[in-house]
């Protein structure tokens, strides 16, 4: 199978990073001193997750050329007064790595400098040539803070195309989130949470992986339309890929520039499940332009039956809004 080694490494990295995030989210929710405006636990988890993925991918793949386009960088951690937070992140990463029975064990305790370096491996600009890993260490920061949905989203670009994606969604129920009673009645696992979606190009049949026991893996099939509750992060792409819903429309405010790490992993998970991801003009997303997506108006995700009608409805609606008012 193409990308087998890369997929194994990516699943392991995203699962382990998700474990780190779960630990921080649990502590955040249990903390008496928690205040809604306190963003520091998110920061710790974002940096920690990015360091874990960066370290794991490099150890498992040991390739000379390693390019990672990731959301976070270490600039703030290098400023005066950041030593405490950096030490917290370093401990968190070391503790997380120590819990894993890694094929190639991380042999020594990592220093704060090792952590800074691992985070800064993610400063690649991406682009149309070669291989680039793309990481959102915590997608859905708002959901994470609320104790709700978030995802560790990791993808691989080859010559500008997405060839692999992994979405670890620790809080996403295994059962459909569509409120579909028929679906839930037959499921003994409706209270279980934690999903790992993954796809490589042209891999449609997915298997269980025993070493990833804390996140269940899911076979993808994008078929059933149903209304979904609002959820944060690329867990939306995961939910659509398994048929919880059939349409995802994302129309940010004018001038907002979408980043590739918010869509790479989700896009391949959906397309390999038989769905389509385009911009409002019906063009496939182009991940080859660097960190940002250059797209027309918004992002539309649907299955192939609905897509033509949906695109027309979106275009009509945009045209209607742009019509000069008769008043
Ligand atoms: N005003 C805005 N419009 C659209 N997307 C935004 C936004 N502000 C932030 N985002 C991006 O949307 C992502 C969350 O997506 P969603 O809204 O689907 O949960 C955020 O990822 P992070 O949480 O990784 O920063 C962030 O990159
Ligand atoms: Mg994001
Ligand atoms: Mg993020
Ligand atoms: Mg962010």
141 flagged as catalytic: yes
The number of the ligand 1 atom at minimal distance from the alpha carbon of 46 is 24
Please check the confidence at residue 247 and state whether its pLDDT lies above 70. Answer: yes
Atom of ligand 1 nearest to the CA of 232: 19
Report helix, strand or coil for 157.
strand
Residue 141 C-alpha to ligand 3 middle, in angstroms? 6
At 5 the pLDDT is 95
Mean pLDDT, all residues of the chain: 87
d(CA 226, CA 130): 39
Residue 180 has a pLDDT of: 52
Long-range interactions of 318-325: CB distance < 8 A, separation 24+:
318/280
Confidence of residue 151 (pLDDT cuts 50, 70, 90): very high
pLDDT of residue 206: 47
| Nearest CA-CA partner of 125 in 11, 290, 14, 238 | 290
Contact present, 134 and 67 (Cβ < 8 Å): no
Phi, psi angles (nearest 5°) of residue 133:
-80, 145
Ligand 1: lining residues by beta carbon, under 6 Å: 71, 136, 138-141, 232-233, 252-253, 256, 259, 262
Give the residue-averaged pLDDT of 257-262: 98
Q: How many CA atoms lie within 13 A of 56 on its CB side?
A: 32
Give the model confidence (pLDDT) of 87-101 as tens digits.
Answer: 999 999 999 999 876
Which atom of ligand 1 has the smallest separation from the CA of 149? 19
110 vs 205: CA distance, rounded Å: 38
**Residue nearest atom 13 in ligand 1 by C-alpha distance:** 140
* Ligand 1 pocket: which of 53, 230, 233, 293 to mutate (most atoms within 8 A of CB): 233
pLDDT of residue 289 exceeding 50: yes
User: Residue 216: its pLDDT value, please?
Assistant: 55
Contacts 24+ apart (CB under 8 A), 227-230: 227/178, 227/179, 228/177, 228/178, 229/177, 229/179
- Active-site choice (43, 90, 141, 271): 141
| Beta-carbon neighbours within 5 Å of ion ligand 3 | 71, 136, 138-139
- pLDDT for residue 303: 86
**Predicted local distance difference test score (pLDDT) of residue 191:** 81
**Higher-confidence residue: 229 or 81?**
81
Q: What is the pLDDT of residues 183-225, one digit of tens each?
A: 444 444 568 999 999 999 875 544 333 343 445 555 555 658 5
Nearest CA to 240 among 223, 257, 252, 253?
A: 223
Residue 204's CB is within 10 A of a number of other CB atoms, namely: 12
> By mean pLDDT, which of 136-140, 149-153, 175-179 is the weakest?
175-179
pLDDT tens for each residue of 3-59: 999 999 999 999 999 999 999 999 988 775 545 556 677 889 999 999 999 999 999
Q: Tokens representing 182?
A: 């028929």
Helix (H/G/I), strand (E/B), else coil: 308: helix
Q: How far is the CA of 230 from the centre of ligand 2 (A)?
A: 16
Is residue 122 scored above 70 in pLDDT? yes
Looking at the predicted structure, is the pLDDT value of residue 248 above 90?
A: yes
- Is the distance from CB of 45 to CB of 168 less than 8 angstroms? no
Q: How far, in Å, are 194, 216, 262 from residue 175 at the CA level? A: 10, 11, 24
Residue 181, pLDDT > 60, answer no
Closest ligand 1 atom to residue 144 Cα is 23
| Across 301-306, average pLDDT | 88
Complex ipTM tops 0.90: yes
Of 53, 72, 140, 299, best ligand 1 pocket probe by most atoms within 8 Å of the beta carbon: 140
Q: Is 296 labeled as catalytic in the residue annotation?
A: no
What distance in angstroms lies between residue 141's CA and the mean position of ligand 4's atoms?
6
> Which residue has tokens 């339309």?
225
Global pTM reads 0.91
């Amino acid at each position: 199978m193409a990308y087998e080694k890369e997929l194994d490494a990516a699943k392991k990295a995203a699962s382990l990073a998700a474990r780190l995030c779960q630990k921080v989210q649990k502590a955040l929710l249990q903390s008496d001193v928690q205040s809604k405006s306190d963003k520091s636990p998110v920061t710790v988890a974002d940096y920690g997750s990015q360091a874990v993925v960066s370290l794991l991918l490099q150890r498992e793949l040991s390739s000379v050329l390693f390019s990672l386009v990731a959301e976070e960088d270490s600039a703030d951690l290098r400023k005066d007064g950041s030593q405490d937070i950096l030490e917290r992140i370093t401990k968190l990463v070391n503790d997380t790595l120590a819990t894993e029975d890694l094929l190639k064990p991380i042999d020594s305790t990592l220093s704060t400098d090792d952590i800074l370096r691992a985070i800064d491996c993610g400063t690649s600009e991406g682009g149309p040539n070669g291989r680039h890993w793309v990481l959102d260490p915590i997608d859905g920061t708002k959901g994470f803070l609320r104790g709700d949905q978030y995802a560790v989203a990791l993808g691989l670009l080859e010559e500008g195309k997405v060839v692999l994606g992994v979405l670890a969604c620790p809080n996403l129920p295994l059962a459909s989130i569509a409120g579909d009673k028929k679906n839930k009645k037959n499921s003994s696992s409706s209270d279980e949470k934690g999903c790992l979606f993954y796809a490589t190009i042209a891999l449609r049949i997915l298997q269980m992986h025993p070493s990833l026991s804390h996140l269940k893996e899911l076979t993808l099939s994008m078929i059933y339309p149903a209304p979904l509750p609002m959820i944060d992060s690329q867990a939306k792409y995961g939910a659509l890929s398994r048929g919880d819903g059939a349409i995802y429309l994302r129309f940010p405010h004018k001038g907002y520039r979408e980043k590739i790490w918010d869509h790479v992993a989700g896009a391949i998970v959906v397309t390999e499940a038989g769905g389509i991801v385009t911009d409002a003009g019906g063009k496939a997303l182009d991940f080859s332009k660097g960190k940002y997506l250059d797209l027309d108006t918004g992002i539309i995700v649907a299955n192939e039956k609905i897509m033509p009608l949906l695109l027309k409805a979106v275009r009509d609606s945009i045209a209607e809004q742009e019509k000069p008012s008769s008043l």
